[in-house]
Chain A
C-alpha cells in the first residue's frame, strides 16, 4: 500500500516533468491596453494577408481571390491575379514582398490552385511584379500535387530569412496519414526555395530518392503563421492542431515536427489520435495551446510604439476571436494576453513600416492600433 502511494506520487511527478509547459496556460485580459483601434480598411470579407508597399499603400488578399490595392483611402482590385481554387479553406492566401522589393519589385503570393490533371486543388506559390494595378511577369514557382477535393489545410504563409531564402508552408490537405510524414509527398511541410523558385543545393533532402527536394521540414499539420525572428534570424511557425494542440515551432533544417505521430491534441470527435506527445527524433513545440485558439497570422513586435510590447509575439485567433500577445523570455512563453476581444475572427497581424500594428479581422476589415500616449 505504502509503495503504491509512492509509485503514484512518482507517476504524477513524472507526468508533470514530461510536459513541456504547465497544463494551466490561460490567457489574461489586460487592464491597461496601450492602444485604441481604428478601422482603416472596411468592407472586407476574409482579408487573409497584408503587405506594405514603399509608397505607404497596402496590398490585401481576399480569400475569395481578389488582390486589393489600398492607396490614399481607396480600394482598387488588381488585375491579372492567379485563378484560385476557392473551396473550403482554400483560396488566395499570403502576400509577401521580396526583402529587396525596392530594387526588384517581386511580390510573392500563395494560393489554392487547380493547376494539374487531377480534380481538385493544392497550394501554389507564384511571384509577379505590379504596375498600374495589374500584375505582370507572373511566374509559377511551386505547385504541390496531386490535387484533391478535400477542403482543409492548404497552409499557407511566406517568409524570408537573413540569407535571402524563401520559406513557405503547405498544410497536409486532410490526408494526415499519407502526407505529413512522407517526404516524397507534398503537404504538411515547410518548403525552402531560392527567391527565383529554384531549389537550394543544400536543402536537407537533396539527393534522396523520390523526395520532394523543396522540403525543408516535415510532420506539420496546417501552418498559417510563418515569420523570421528578428533577433535570432530563425524561422518560427505556428500551426493548427486538431482539437487542442496548436503549436509554435522553431523551424530546423530537415526536422520532423511529429504530426500525427505525436500531438497534444485529440480528434474533433473526442477520440485520441495517439497517446504520445513526444518521441525521439521529433521536435517539441516551444509552446502549445490547449484548447486550440486556431492561430492565423503572426508578427514579432520590434517597435517601441506600445509600452511593454517590444519583443513580444502577436498571433491571431480564429476560434476565440481575439488577438493574442505572447510575452517571451527567449523561447519560453511567460505570459498570454487577449486583445481585441469579440470583434471577429483574427486572420492576420503585421507590424507596418511605421512600427504600428495592423490586424485583419474577418467580416470587418483592417484595423490599425493607435498607441495611447
Chain B
C-alpha cells in the first residue's frame, strides 16, 4: 500500500501543482487512491482503462467529463441501463459500493485527477451529500 502511494506520489504532486498546490485536494486524492485500489480497480483496472464493451474507461472518459453529477450519483447509488463512453455502449450494471459521502468525494477527486484527467473543481462532501437518488 505504501508503495502504491509512493508510486503515485509524483503524479499526485503533479496534480496538486496544477491545482495551485491545494493541500486539501492533495490529501483527498491520496485517500481516494486507496479507495480506488480497494473498490474500483478490479473492473476499471489500475490505469482507469476499463475493458471495452464490459467496464467503461475512467481515463479520458468523455462521459465523466460531461456528466459529473451523474457520475457521482452512479458511484453513490449504482448505475443501471445503457451508457455511451468514448463511442462504445456499455450495458452492464454497477452496484453501489456502500461508500460514505467523504469516500465518494475522495475517489472522485482521485479519478478526476489521474491518467490524463484533470479538474480544477474539487468534489466536496457537501456536493456528494446533496445528490439524491
A residues at B contact (CB < 8 Å):
45-46, 63-64, 85-88, 90, 150-152, 174, 268-271, 294, 319-321, 342, 344-345, 362-363
The secondary structure that dominates the A interface is: loop
Contact A363:B80 (CB < 8 A) given known A86-B98, A319-B51, A321-B54: yes
Can you list 29 contacts pairing A with B, beta carbon distance less than 8 Å? Answer: A45-B95, A46-B93, A63-B95, A64-B95, A85-B98, A86-B96, A87-B97, A87-B99, A88-B97, A88-B98, A150-B38, A151-B38, A151-B39, A151-B97, A152-B38, A152-B42, A174-B38, A268-B41, A268-B42, A268-B46, A269-B46, A270-B46, A294-B42, A319-B43, A319-B51, A321-B54, A321-B92, A362-B93, A363-B93
Q: Which residue of B lies closest to A45 (CB)?
A: B93
Contact string, B37-54, partner A, CB cutoff 8 A, digits 1/0?
Answer: 111011101100001011
Considering the complex, which residues of chain B in the window 28-43 have a beta carbon less than 8 Å from any beta carbon of chain A? 37-39, 41-43
In the bound complex, CA of A220 to CA of B3 (Å): 24
Contacts of A321 in B (CB 8 A): 54, 92
A49 to chain B, nearest CB (A): 15
Which of chain B's residues have a CB closer than 8 A to the CB of A320? 54
Using known A-B contacts A151-B38, A321-B54, determine if residue A269 contacts B95 with beta carbons closer than 8 Å.
Answer: no
The reply to whether B91 and A363 form a contact with Cβ atoms under 8 Å apart is yes
Q: Does B4 contact A (CB under 8 A)?
A: yes
Closest A residue to B99 using CB positions: A87
B7 at the interface (CB under 8 A from A): yes
On B, residues with C-beta under 8 Å from A are 3-4, 7, 37-39, 41-43, 45-46, 51, 53-54, 78, 80, 91-93, 95-99
Give complex CA distance A31, B48 in Å.
Answer: 35
Chain B residue nearest to A152 in the complex (CB) = B38
Which residues on the B side are within 8 Å of A87 (C-beta)?
97-99
Quote the shortest CB–CB distance from B94 to chain A (angstroms).
9
Contacts A174-B38, A268-B41: A344 and B98 contacting too (C-beta < 8 A)? Answer: no
Using A87-B99, A88-B38, A362-B93 as known contacts, list a sample of 4 further A-B pairs with CB atoms less than 8 Å apart, ordered by residue number in A: A45-B93, A63-B95, A152-B42, A268-B42
Set of chain B residues within 8 Å of A174, measured between Cβ atoms:
38
Q: Would you give the shortest CB distance from A120 to chain B, in whole angstroms?
A: 11
Cβ A345 vs Cβ B92 within 8 A: yes
User: A194 to nearest B CB, angstroms?
Assistant: 33
Of B37, B97, B98, the most chain A CB neighbours within 10 A belong to B98
Q: Which of A45, A88, A319 contacts B39 (CB 8 A)?
A: A88
Return A254 CB to nearest CB of chain B, in Å.
Answer: 30
Shortest CB distance B131–A (Å): 19
Q: Within 8 Å CB of B37, what residues of A?
A: 268
Whether B92 and A363, one on each chain, are in contact in the complex, defined by CB atoms closer than 8 angstroms, is yes
- Among B43, B53, B54, residue most surrounded by chain A Cβ atoms (within 10 Å): B54
Q: Which residues of A contact B53 (CB under 8 A)?
A: 342
Nearest-Cβ distance from residue B67 to partner chain A, whole angstroms: 20
Is the CB–CB distance between A46 and B38 below 8 Å? no
**CA A342 – CA B3 in complex, angstroms?**
36
CA distance A87 to B4 in the complex (A): 23
Q: Which 5 A-B pairs have the closest CB atoms?
A: A87-B98, A363-B93, A151-B39, A151-B38, A86-B98
Minimum C-beta distance from B109 to chain A (A): 18
Q: How many angstroms between the C-alpha atoms of A151 and B104 in the bound complex?
A: 14
Chain B residues whose C-beta falls within 8 Å of the C-beta of A342 in the assembled complex: 53
Instruction: Give CA–CA (A269, B8) in the complex, Å.
Output: 11
Interface centre among A85, A268, A362, by most chain B C-beta atoms within 10 angstroms, is A268
Give the shortest distance, in Å, between B38 (CB) and chain A (any CB). 5
Do B92 and A362 touch (CB < 8 A)?
yes
Bound together, the chains give a CA A151 to CA B78 distance in angstroms of 15
Residues of A within 8 A of B93 (CB): 45-46, 362-363
Nearest B residue to A344, CB-CB: B92
Q: How far is the CA of A55 from the CA of B3 in the complex (A)?
A: 55
Q: Which residues of B contact A362 (CB under 8 A)?
A: 92-93
Give bound CA distance, A107 to B53, whole Å.
38
**CA of A362 to CA of B94, assembled, Å:** 9
